[in-house]
Amino acid sequence: MENPVSAKDEVASLKNQVDNMVERKPFLKETLNAFKELMIAEAELRAQLMTRPAPGMPPPDALRLSAGVPALSDMELAPLFPDLTDGLKTMLAALKRSFPPLKKEAERLAARVAEDPEAPAAWIRLLVRNEEDALKKWADELELEPASFRFALEKSLKPFLQWLAHGVAPHLEQMSWDRGYCPICGAYPDTSYLKKGEEESEYLVAHGGRRWLHCALCSHEWRLHRIVCPYCGNEDADTLEYFSSEESPAERLHVCHTCKKYLPCLDTSELIEVPPADLMPFELLHLDLIAQEKGFSPMAWRHWNQLTS
């Protein structure tokens, strides 16, 4: 996301990657087809937003950040936004086509946005502050079920969150962050991956690569050391475990026996073709199924990994 690319290029490359994935993993066809249209709308809007100057965001307060407060939760967001109305309506229309069961959610949100152009910025603020009670109040007011209301919000507002993350990420480069949730928006990761560092010696020191976590909400990626559960902070190697199969040793399922959460992980160090991070959750979807069969639950609940609920 560093260089703004044209919407056309971004969409073409996304379609290609999705087609490649369906070819490699035919069992993903149905899931990917459902998500494809939404992902395309997301890529188009994101590319459009990226052609604007990055939002002029002040650096986060280093002390607050070191105390574990994600950057966006302290910021006055509304003045940063362009008009969100049109972009959000497009996203909601795509959401409705991708997920017919969410028709009601998409329509009520779109109607609300038409009436109240301030609502989207307020929703983003509640999401990044994880204000569950306030979100529930909105859901009640719109007569929607809180979980599906939140899912519809997260999916349709994602390009704006990615744009905000793009604006704030440069400030975080020199700041340290050792939490399992996103330093920008506070959401938990949906996937992780191991990547070789630039230096070979560093690779050896890290025993096979650095671990990167991918935020389920704003797509930001951050590093976290490998022997810790991102969800509960458990560092006891005896209660942290990972599984992988002989056929695909690069695909790993990390679980924590303390909090019973799991996180899929892709070891990219030996891979020739590395999927883009936003598609990794799909790449590793079969691991969600295995984890949930074993009684673990995901850190980030997402529509595609709600397999047993």
- Interface residues with Zn ion (CB under 5 A) are 182, 184-185, 187, 215, 217-218, 220, 229, 231-232, 234, 256, 258-259
Residue closer to Zn ion (CB basis): 7 or 232:
232
Least Å from the CB of residue 298 to Zn ion? 12
Least Å from the CB of residue 16 to Zn ion? 26
Residue closer to Zn ion (CB basis): 28 or 72:
72
Least Å from the CB of residue 6 to Zn ion? 25
Three-class DSSP labels, the chain: CCCCCCHHHHHHHHHHHHHHHHHHCHHHHHHHHHHHHHHHHHHHHHHHHHCCCCCCCCCCCHHHHHCCCCHHHHCCCHHHCCCCHHHHHHHHHHHHHHCHHHHHHHHHHHHHHHHCCCHHHHHHHHHHCCCHHHHHHHHHHCCCCHHHHHHHHHHHHHHHHHHHHHHHHHHHCCCCCCCCCCCCCCCCEEEEEEECCCCHHHHHHCCCCEEEEEECCCCCEEECCCCCCCCCCCCCHHHEEEEECCCCCCEEEEEECCCCEEEEEEEHHHCCCCCCHHHHHHHCHHHHHHHHHCCCEECCCCHHHCCCC
Least Å from the CB of residue 258 to Zn ion? 5
Least Å from the CB of residue 286 to Zn ion? 22
Residue closer to Zn ion (CB basis): 84 or 229:
229
What's the rounded Cα separation, in Å, for the pair 252 and 209? 14
61 token code pair? 């307060």
Residue closer to Zn ion (CB basis): 98 or 234:
234
Residue closer to Zn ion (CB basis): 153 or 215:
215
Closest CA to 93 of 115, 81, 111: 111
Residue closer to Zn ion (CB basis): 112 or 302:
302
Residue closer to Zn ion (CB basis): 166 or 210:
166
Least Å from the CB of residue 122 to Zn ion? 19
Residue closer to Zn ion (CB basis): 108 or 254:
254
Identify whether the C-beta of residue 167 lies closer than 8 Å to the C-beta of residue 55. yes
Least Å from the CB of residue 204 to Zn ion? 28
